[in-house]
Structure 1
């Protein structure tokens, strides 16, 4: 498809060039015919001037028109080649000045077209963010972009591994964890937990667990055996162990039921004081701080912790590589949805688009400013490499037809000037 389109464009360009060449050839023939006609008219008028004096005006017009036409023919031809092949100075102007034309053309484009002001104004006319948004909201394009990113990310991860960044990140993470004071952090976490009485929910779970223990036959049997072992044998003969167990269980069950039903029970208040006191100790106690720091150092020194970063990295890489290979389509699906949503958000939010467009203008104008001298040099070098015949032909094809009209204008203006001079001669000099 791309090749056929390029072929069509090349064919259209060739047809247009042929049409320009044909038009230029016709204009040259007409201009040459008009010049020959002026010469013939001058000869006829001069011949008939003795019989008809009025023909002197015609002869003066034709003579001056011939001179003007020849002068302008010379000027037009001298732009492109040497007239009649003669080595006349200051002719073949364009071929002789190819290098200077190339440099001046490149400099002209750099100064007038790539100046910061015009470039910024032109870039401001383009809504880059809208173009990006329209491109992203197309799910097929977003899916293609997600596949491209999916193929690119494993290469990035491999580059990161080879650069040693993974080990650096692991060491930095360990260093940062070493700086963390565990006891105050734990106190802050507990304070957040107790802020909405979360510790009382934990207390409720403890109460329910104890109630479950009191209803467990095995647990009760173990308690009875413990009581029987502590009581004298005489009491066991009267089954005092069963009586005591029943009393203990009944009292404990009643207490636990009361605690569970009463949000302001004294045991709950005691638990509150215990928790608040423990939090305060964590914040201020040096002993707790030393114990917490020792626990942290021991934990970080374990081999499992040293290998944790590597394990996480390998898992992440395997997950991403599965997505890139198509074995885990969830990644690409989520990425596609993310890109589409980004496009929709851009389309809905004019402020984000304005900020994004401003960034594009700054970045692209800075890029053009840094590269414009290179563009100027590139244009100049390309023009300098052009074949002289090709350069001359290219310019003549595109502007030669307009230049040929200078010959018509030269004949008309010259003829009018010749008549004016003839009238002046007959009026004032005869």
Structure 2
């Protein structure tokens, strides 16, 4: 991967020009003082200063330039040091990180000084506070880009496969049995029976004509001729209606108790009857393999993904809802509960230490391989842009210091 470097900053360009202009000024001063030296001995000091300054400036220019490239494009040995040793520098940098930073003991000491729980609590309690809004927007953009960058077909397939595998591996029969037994123990089954009785009453009223037709068809000729079949049908309908009404009004009605006994038996069998458990598992597998069920599961994933994208794109709306209230409360709790804060900080510290111990070598390889993948010229430009301003000061200082040394040497020569 080739990484393109940014153009040099304006401050670096100014310092380069200043160092070059100073060197040109010293050259001009040298030639001028050399011409004027016969007129007055003082010009000898100016010539010595300018001469030594040129030597010092050129020497430091050569040294600074040799770090990043060949001076004047000439392949002089031991120049262009950084481009030639880019890979070795990357390896040494990675090793330096491994030996002095990615050590579990160092990470643990550093993490002890960081109160992650308090920072998270402050942000959750006031996401719009000092820098919080910027952090929220950053997290929102990152989450959105990650969700959009992922291969949705592959990710969706993984999620669906995990859901189906989880349901396949989970035996539903005992769970259903325990849930039904718990509901009956807390009498949460009674509304179900009440709804069933109401349905029976409504179904009876809607289907009286079927009962009358059944009695009429099965009655003998005498009953039909005398009209007793109609009377018999009315008696049957009235009796059924009275039975259903009594079941609705009396929670302890014998038929209701029979229904409860049947439900209790089903709950017991779901947990302990191998034959029923096998039948339930068979039905479960058939449902999972049904195309309609597959479409429903696919729809669940798409809905979940759409909801995550909406939340990522509009975190303010998310923080304003019920979840936002819960997160605000969590933030306040994190700030007010020292025990919970210690637990979270300890967990984060252990996670960081574990990551350094388990993935330190992988991080080192990542740094080394990343530097190796960079273009040598780009690396050189980036390093020069980062430290070049200070290196230009070396050129300026070398010019001035060289000039002063030249004056001292000339003065000693004059005195002796």
Q: Give the whole-Å Cα distance in 2 for the aligned partners of 1:293 and 1:411.
A: 97
SS of residue matched to 1:205: helix
Tell me the alpha carbon deviations over residues 15-69 of structure 1, each in whole angstroms, 9 at most, x when there is no partner.
654444223322444466668878865599xxxxxxxxxxxxxxxxx8xx79986
Match of 2:259 among 271, 278, 299: 271
| Mapped pair 1:403 → 2:361 | no
Q: In the alignment, what sits opposite 1:336?
A: 313
**How far did 1:272 drift?**
1.9
Instruction: Indicate whether 1:225 and 2:177 are aligned.
Output: no
1:99 corresponds to which residue? 79
For residues 101 and 30 of structure 1, the distance between their equivalents in structure 2, rounded to whole angstroms, comes to 33
Secondary structure at 2:79 match in 1: helix
- Looking at structure 1, the residues matched to 90 and 371 of structure 2 have their Cα atoms a distance apart, in angstroms, of 7
How far has the Cα of 1:280 moved from its partner?
1.6
Establish whether residue 25 from structure 1 lines up as the match of residue 24 from structure 2.
yes
* Alignment correspondent of 2:289: 305
**Partners of 1:96 and 1:263 in 2: CA distance:** 103
**Inter-CA distance 289–250: structure 2 relative to 1 (3 Å threshold):** same
Residue segments in structure 1 that go unaligned for 5+ positions in a row: 1-5, 45-61, 83-91, 324-328, 387-393, 423-430
1:99 aligns to what SS in structure 2? Answer: coil
Judged with a 3 Å threshold, the aligned counterparts in structure 2 of structure 1 residues 201 and 24 are, in CA distance, closer, same or farther, namely same
Aligned residues: 353
Query: 5 Å matches for 1:223-302?
Result: 224-225=215-216, 229=219, 233=222, 241=229, 245-292=233-280, 295=283, 299=286
- Change in Cα spacing, 1:184 to 1:31, as seen in structure 2 (3 Å) is same
Contact 2:215 2:229 in 1 (8 A): yes
Which residue in the other structure is 1:59 paired with? Answer: none
Q: Distance in 1 between matches of 2:258 and 2:274?
A: 25
Task: Name which of structure 1's ranges 252-261 and 123-132 shifts more when overlaid on structure 2.
Answer: 123-132
Per-residue deviation at 1:276?
A: 0.8
CA drift of 1:264 comes to: 3.3
1:209 is matched with which residue: 193, 199, 202?
A: 199
Instruction: Give the Cα–Cα distance (whole angstroms) in 1 for the partners of residues 316 and 262 of structure 2.
Output: 52
Q: Distance in 2 between matches of 1:416 and 1:271?
A: 120
SS of 2:202's partner is helix
- Contact 2:19–2:392 under 8 Å retained in 1: yes
RMSD: 6.4
Distance 1:80 1:262 in 2: 105
Alignment of 1:18-417 (within 5 A): 18-30=17-29, 72=52, 76=56, 79=59, 96-99=76-79, 101-102=81-82, 115-116=96-97, 117=100, 134=133, 137-138=136-137, 146=144, 149-150=147-148, 152=149, 156-157=152-153, 181=171, 183-212=173-202, 215=205, 217-219=208-210, 221-222=212-213, 224-225=215-216, 229=219, 233=222, 241=229, 245-292=233-280, 295=283, 299=286, 305=289, 307=291, 311=295, 333=310, 335-337=312-314, 341=318, 369-370=364-365, 382=377, 399-414=394-409
Please give the alpha-carbon distance, in whole angstroms, between the structure 2 residues aligned to 1:13 and 1:417. 38
CA distance in 2, matches of 1:383, 1:220: 92
Query: Could you state the TM-score of these two structures normalised by the residue count of structure 2?
Result: 0.54
Per-residue deviation at 1:275? 1.4
CA shift digits 1:383-425 (9 cap, x unpaired):
9999xxxxxxx99965443223234422453466568x86xxx
Q: Say if 1:413 and 1:367 are closer, same or farther in 2 by CA, change over 3 A.
A: farther
Contact 2:52 2:402 in 1 (8 A): yes
> Residue 145 of structure 1: CA displacement?
7.3
- Structure 2 Cα separation of the partners of residues 209 and 77 of structure 1: 102
- Could you say if the C-alpha distance between residues 401 and 105 of structure 1 is closer, same or farther in structure 2, counting changes exceeding 3 Å? farther
* Structure 2 stretches lacking a partner, 5+ long: 1-5, 63-71, 124-129, 336-340, 382-388
Number of the residue aligned with 2:68: none
Is the deviation greater in 184-193 or in 274-283? 184-193
- Residue 31 of structure 1 contacts residue 407 of structure 1 at CA under 8 Å; is this kept in 2? no
- CA gap of 1:20–1:371, structure 2 versus 1, over 3 A, is farther
Assess if the C-alpha contact under 8 Å between 2:56 and 2:403 holds in 1: no
- Provide the rounded CA distance (Å) in 2 between the counterparts of 1:263 and 1:214: 20
TM-score by length of 1: 0.52
Cα 1:183/1:80, change in 2 over 3 Å: closer
Q: 1:39 to 1:341 in 2, by over 3 A?
A: farther
Structure 1 375/180 Cα, relative in aligned 2: closer, same or farther at 3 Å?
closer
Measured against aligned partners, the alpha-carbon deviations of 1:97-125 in whole angstroms (never above 9, x if no partner) come to 5338548986789868993247999x999
Q: Residue by residue, what CA displacement relative to the aligned partner does 1:297-318 show, whole Å, maximum 9, x if unpaired?
A: 6x36xxx93645765687689x
